[in-house]
Amino acid sequence: MTATAGTGATDEFRAARDFLLTHREDWAAAHEGFRWPRPARFNWALDWFDVIARGNDRTALHIVEEDGTTVRLSFAELSERSDRVANWLRGRGVRAEDRVLVMLGNQAELWETMLAAMKLRAVVIPATPLLGPADLRDRVERGRVRHVVVRASDAEKFAEVPGRYTRVAVGGAAEGWQRYEDAYEAPAVFVPDGPTHSDDPLMLYFTSGTTAHPKLVEHTHTSYPVGHLATMYWIGLKPGDVHLNISSPGWAKHAWSNLFAPWNAEATVFLFNYTRFDAARLMAEMDKARVTTFCAPPTVWRMLIQADLSQLRTRPREAVAAGEPLNPEVIEQVRRAWGVTIRDGFGQTETAVQVSNSPGQPLKAGSMGRPSPGYRIELLDPVSGAPGADEGEIAIDMSDHPVGLMTGYHGDADRTAEAMAGGYYRTGDIGARDEDG
């Protein structure tokens, strides 16, 4: 196990987390009373995950493959595995603030690597395995990547990606590549080589967009780990929950709901890997795993309602959707079949969930809810740019520097200044606010 003990930062984080759990169905109290924890030093993997993992044999990660193969890892096991991986990566030259491109599927090694990189204070660049050599060249070059951790089946893509970077392959290694599996032989006790400051960089996301080059969204050791307390609140997660979020690795939503939000709540992350969507099989696996909280994009919800929803015997307590507004007929079909109402939320790669329908709120058809705890949301008049409009650009008031907001667009001061002009982070999306907020 790790040499780390709980710290003042751990206590501060836990107090904020527990406040949201206490008021999980009282939005007014949560929004009024919540204050972001702001420790000067914080490493989520060391100061939170390892602390809750100590002696904890509850399942942290449960993955089921299409062929029925199952991986179950407890919090304690993942803590130790990530210690070994961190020690091994350090032996391969990974240092604080080195950029590590991680391109893995929904497999245990992804979570081990994420935790290990945090412990090393390295900067993770998540990447979807769907990327080809051209996109990878851009990421390696602009991201100044020093190390890559990828599936062995994707290693050949890097033959066309120049650069001096350590190559680590998961699931077998070709010539010139390090075998990830060797990491399990590394020492089981990890000792950090220095403190983690809360504003140290943690993640760089290449966003999709209409511009020629994706933007690089920079997050810190607090903006995503701590920021996703708001996402935990929106989903309605509680300790002991089994959470299924359908999202592809490499995208920000995967970190939101398959890493930070569930483990902030001390819940189990459950995944079912499939090549082709099969609603009946998905529901069968949800039943076996006893999924209590379920998040899926609208495309999955629309496919699910084509099946017989009554096949799911153990209905989730909470159901949410993100990415785009869900049409009312889908929400109604699920409500009739499962007795739960799908709740929408709004956020971006640059933030955690900013506005949402959290548990216990009155729901209005077509509404994405009210501001998340920790966020003050303004609508900026489209003509004058002044706050307080009934309809306008959705913006975050930055006067109290909400934790759940990116540092900026890495290497692009002009774009960052434009997005954060006048004391507001501007989302670029238009919204309207009714008399109930």
397-430: per-residue pLDDT in tens? 999 889 999 999 999 999 999 999 999 999 999 9
pLDDT at 366: 81
In eight-state DSSP terms, residue 55 is T
The candidate with the shortest Cα–Cα distance to 81, out of 150, 3, 1, 149, is 1
DSSP 254-318: HHIIIIIHHHHTTPEEEEE--SS--HHHHHHHHHHHT--EEEE-HHHHHHHTTS-GGG-SS--SE
Residue 297's CB is within 10 A of a number of other CB atoms, namely 17
pLDDT at 326: 87
**Residue 105 DSSP SS3:** coil
Q: Tally DSSP H helices, then E strands, for the chain.
A: 13, 20
Question: Which distant-in-sequence residues (6+ apart) come within 8 Å of 400 by Cβ?
Answer: 376
Q: What percent of the chain has pLDDT above 70?
A: 97
In tens, the pLDDT along 305-356 reads 999 999 999 999 999 998 888 888 999 999 999 999 999 999 999 999 999 9
**Residue 64 DSSP SS3:** strand
Q: Give the gyration radius of the chain's Cα atoms.
A: 21
Angle between helices 108-120 and 75-91 (to 10 degrees): 60
Question: Is the pTM for the entire model greater than 0.85?
Answer: yes
Domains and CATH numbers, the chain: 8-432 (3.40.50.12780)
- CA–CA distance, 314 with 338 (Å, rounded to integer): 9
318-322 and 293-296 beta bridge pairing:
parallel
pLDDT at 324: 82
Do residues 221 and 118 make contact, with C-beta atoms less than 8 angstroms apart?
yes
- CA–CA distance, 190 with 87 (Å, rounded to integer): 6
pLDDT at 33: 97
pLDDT at 4: 43
Where the chain has pLDDT below 70, the residues are 1-6, 208-212
- CA–CA distance, 158 with 396 (Å, rounded to integer): 39
pLDDT at 174: 81
Residue 324's CB is within 10 A of a number of other CB atoms, namely 11
pLDDT at 360: 93
The candidate with the shortest Cα–Cα distance to 373, out of 122, 47, 33, is 33
pLDDT at 12: 97
pLDDT at 3: 38
Structure tokens at 64: 């089921």
- CA–CA distance, 362 with 218 (Å, rounded to integer): 35
Provide φ and ψ at 280, rounded to 5°: -65, -40
Inter-CA distances, 427 with 163, 367, 393, 419, 420, Å: 35, 17, 7, 8, 9
Which residues in 239-248 are b (16+ Cβ under 10 Å) and which e? eebbbbbbbe
Inter-CA distances, 227 with 36, 44, 272, 331, 421, Å: 8, 11, 26, 28, 21
